[in-house]
Structure 1
Amino acid sequence: MDFRFDSADERFRDEVRTWLAENLTGEFAQLIDKGGPGREHELIPERQAWERRLGEAGWIGLGWPQEAGGRGLSWTRQVIFAEEYARAGAPGRVGHIGEQLLGPTLLMSGTAEQRRRFLPGILAGTELWCQGYSEPDAGSDLAAVRTRAELRDGEWHVTGQKVWTSLAQFADWCFVLARTDPAAERHRGLSYLLVPMNRPGVEVRPITQLTGTSEFNEVYFDDARTAAGNIVGAPGEGWKVAMGTLAVERGVSTFGQQMGFQREYDAVLSTARDNGAIEDPDIAARLVDAWIGLRVMRYTALRTLGAAPGAVPGAESNIAKLLWAPWHQRLGELAVDVAGPAATLGGRGDELSDAQRLFLFTRADTIYGGSSEIQRNVIAERMLGLPRG
């Protein structure tokens, strides 16, 4: 495949770079290199304002169809924006769950009324979403969810607990996978509900991480209510809709993630050169391996997207997760080894060095978003055709 971008794409790249340079100034200059995984606690009100600025300028929903309010851009233009956004050090997005997960799900499975109600708020950066999937006894085994919902008097009544809910403390809405047919088991009897977060019966409890910060949360629903029409798909079809959401989770945005990885790698390489750690043959070899890993991830992602533009990723997205998660963990280990004894000193939260934060946060990479074991099972069953179990 030809992985090069054409001249029109490069003109678009210049447009993106120019806009970011002109807007990451003034009140938004403080947001450079803020937020993102492990740092989601940083400057939330300011990043919410930045989300609205992105919406005003039309930088949200680049790949959404124009009739839905998006720009209908090609996947190559979306890749370029993701890369340049990360290269500029633009802040971690607080609206990415709505734009990259809920929005595409509504475009695939939502009603016209749901799209009219919810897509504009995502595109404008004025309504934030979180994802209500995992539970204490249903993480990677998502079909085991116990949160239940019952339709009474024109409303869904939701009761249960979700965990590891990113940005729930700031979200306006949550898309919740709940069991609406108590007689059904496993994948059957689940429904995909859109639940407001600022109503009675919803409690958010932050979870303190190894880094000392809290971007994940427990969410308790105690007879929380949402309108009868806030169900995506038919009752009992929640598993199908939820799998559609997971399928788009690892799409174009992975290129922004990879650019973030590149910035982290460059910082580790710079430290190794400055303190002489690069003279250690083992450190030098690990730096080379990390550089190679970055290129493998990039070309794998380009090949996956380029093979069938516009298609929803299948097991290929599981391969991507299986590639980057252990790679990122190894980079965290390399970062503290390069830093040397200094890496053992420090505090918590904002007192951590970049190397310490990278090391601590990446411990979870092979668990969240689907554990590595689950990724291997999916690849074995869906791509290789191996039997279950």
Structure 2
Amino acid sequence: MEFDWTPEQLSFRATVRSFLAEHLPPNWETVAHGPASEVQSEFADVFCRKLAEAGLLVPHWPARWGGRDADAWTAFILAEEMWMAGEPRGGQYMNVNWIGPTLMRFGSEEQQQRYIPPMAGGATIWCQGFSEPEAGSDLASLRTRADRHGSNYRINGQKIWTSYAGYADTCFLLARTSPGKNGISIFLIPMETPGITVRQIPSVIGEGDIHEVFFDEVEVPGTAMLGAEGQAWEITRTALSLERVGIPRFALASLMLHRAVDRLKKAGRYGGGAIEQSARAHAACESARLYSYNIIDQRVRGIATGPEASAARVATVSAERLVGEFVVEHCPEALAGGEPMLQAHHQRAIVAGIASGAAEIQLNLIATELLKLPREPR
């Protein structure tokens, strides 16, 4: 395997860094402290439009849809740099990483023409309506229903832990259209549709971005369905494989680990257990990085990604947690306002094992699909 970046890749990384240096404000690290705050969300709206104008929002998308046909490495380099800067794109990662590409593959011409151009222009936010109060990462247990009435569907139910629902223009919603695992369908629903109520869930770790979303007799046309009725499982597996490796959280974790170590060295407190613990955290970050790179390499070479995506995500979650634990134990003052970016990373690390499918669910997938371990009889 070739571990060196090509001159073109190095040039692209330099371009992204130059853009960030020019467009992030001097107080950015203080703003980034609240990764889902109203201030950062408002900033992200302006920032993403500038990214789009510079050709740096969706370079990996086809030229037909506003990209420049760049490969998956370009997208990942972009994501790494954005995350090391505190992810100034805000909620746009859903559009960029997986909703847009999913619509390109499964959407109708009408859906593509309606929804993809605003994504490419950085002019819209989406949310995903997956989890429910009694169906977290177990999508087969969904209870939100979409019942057919003539050519329309009426949707009733509740979603929870829905990121950015308070800012989103459109929801990528999973709802049950018939019994069983294969009875789930996907709907693309404007959040202004009558019958939708959004309530923010108070956060104990800062300014949260999670919400409850209620659907009360929400009527949508049949054309709002993505793909065919009952096709949600196939579409969702494709979408989540993109999402689980599309967020290089390890990049920010590694940067924050080095920052914490530098603080300890300057204070003369870096020794003994701190060295050993930081070495373990650093090794975890590098493991997550290389595992993710392997997945990207597969995509570039046209190899279908399977349960390895779940393994890469678990590796990233482990890295974030180890860095978070190191900071808590050795730099607690940084979490009390002394270092906004370290505090922001700590907040992100707390929820890392829940977003994009709970880490425990990913471990089950690894056990059954990657390691081929037998399930216990019930």
Q: TM-score, structure 2 length as denominator?
A: 0.91
Change (3 A) 1:61 1:297: same
User: 3-state DSSP class of the match of 1:229?
Assistant: helix
User: 3-state DSSP class of the match of 2:185?
Assistant: strand
Instruction: Tell me which residue corresponds to 1:303.
Output: 294
Measured in 1, the distance between the counterparts of 2:152 and 2:164 equals 25
1:100 equivalenced with 2:91 (yes/no) = no
1:40 equivalenced with 2:36 (yes/no) = yes
Find 1:243's aligned residue among 229, 237, 248: 237
Instruction: Tell me which residue corresponds to 1:370.
Output: 357
What is the aligned length? 374
Measured in 2, the distance between the counterparts of 1:96 and 1:332 equals 23
* Deviation of 1:302 (Å): 1.4
Find 2:262's aligned residue among 262, 265, 270: 270
1:192 equivalenced with 2:186 (yes/no) = yes
Measured in 2, the distance between the counterparts of 1:353 and 1:68 equals 37
Letter matched to residue 304 of structure 1: I
Change (3 A) 1:287 1:19: same
1:203 equivalenced with 2:204 (yes/no) = no
Find 1:334's aligned residue among 313, 326, 333: 326
Change (3 A) 1:146 1:81: same
Verify the 8 A CA contact 1:31 1:46 in the aligned structure 2: no
User: 3-state DSSP class of the match of 2:131?
Assistant: coil
Q: Which runs of 4+ in 1 moved over 6 A?
A: none
Instruction: Tell me which residue corresponds to 1:294.
Output: 285
Verify the 8 A CA contact 2:250 2:285 in the aligned structure 1: yes
* Deviation of 1:212 (Å): 3.9
Change (3 A) 1:351 1:302: closer
Instruction: Tell me which residue corresponds to 1:313.
Output: 305
Letter matched to residue 14 of structure 2: D
Verify the 8 A CA contact 1:63 1:72 in the aligned structure 2: yes
* Deviation of 1:360 (Å): 5.0
- The runs of 5 or more residues in structure 2 that have no matched partner are none
Cα-to-partner distance string for 1:4-59 (whole Å, 9 max, x where unaligned): 111222222333333333333xxx554457448x6211512222111111122222
1:168 equivalenced with 2:196 (yes/no) = no
Find 2:247's aligned residue among 254, 258, 261: 254
Measured in 2, the distance between the counterparts of 1:2 and 1:51 equals 33
Verify the 8 A CA contact 1:5 1:76 in the aligned structure 2: no
Measured in 1, the distance between the counterparts of 2:84 and 2:23 equals 14
1:8 equivalenced with 2:16 (yes/no) = no
Measured in 2, the distance between the counterparts of 1:357 and 1:86 equals 12
Letter matched to residue 244 of structure 2: R
Change (3 A) 1:79 1:33: farther
Cα-to-partner distance string for 1:327-369 (whole Å, 9 max, x where unaligned): 21222121121125x478x5xxx89965555445533332332
* Deviation of 1:320 (Å): 1.1
Measured in 1, the distance between the counterparts of 2:54 and 2:344 equals 33
Q: How does 1:346-357 map to 2 (within 5 A)?
A: 346=336, 355=342
Verify the 8 A CA contact 1:168 1:217 in the aligned structure 2: yes
- The runs of 5 or more residues in structure 1 that have no matched partner are none
Stretch moving more, 302-311 or 91-100? 302-311
Measured in 2, the distance between the counterparts of 1:31 and 1:352 equals 12
Measured in 2, the distance between the counterparts of 1:33 and 1:388 equals 48
Change (3 A) 1:202 1:39: same
* Deviation of 1:79 (Å): 2.5
1:231 equivalenced with 2:228 (yes/no) = no
* Deviation of 1:111 (Å): 1.5
Cα-to-partner distance string for 1:283-317 (whole Å, 9 max, x where unaligned): 11011111121211111211222134144521111
Measured in 1, the distance between the counterparts of 2:316 and 2:212 equals 26
Instruction: Tell me which residue corresponds to 1:17.
Output: 17
1:284 equivalenced with 2:271 (yes/no) = no
Verify the 8 A CA contact 1:177 1:242 in the aligned structure 2: no
Cα-to-partner distance string for 1:201-256 (whole Å, 9 max, x where unaligned): 111111112214221111111112322201111111112212221111123x334x
Instruction: Tell me which residue corresponds to 1:157.
Output: 154
Change (3 A) 1:351 1:215: farther
Verify the 8 A CA contact 2:16 2:56 in the aligned structure 1: no
Letter matched to residue 306 of structure 1: D
Q: TM-score, structure 1 length as denominator?
A: 0.88
Letter matched to residue 41 of structure 1: S
Measured in 2, the distance between the counterparts of 1:223 and 1:301 equals 42
Change (3 A) 1:33 1:67: farther
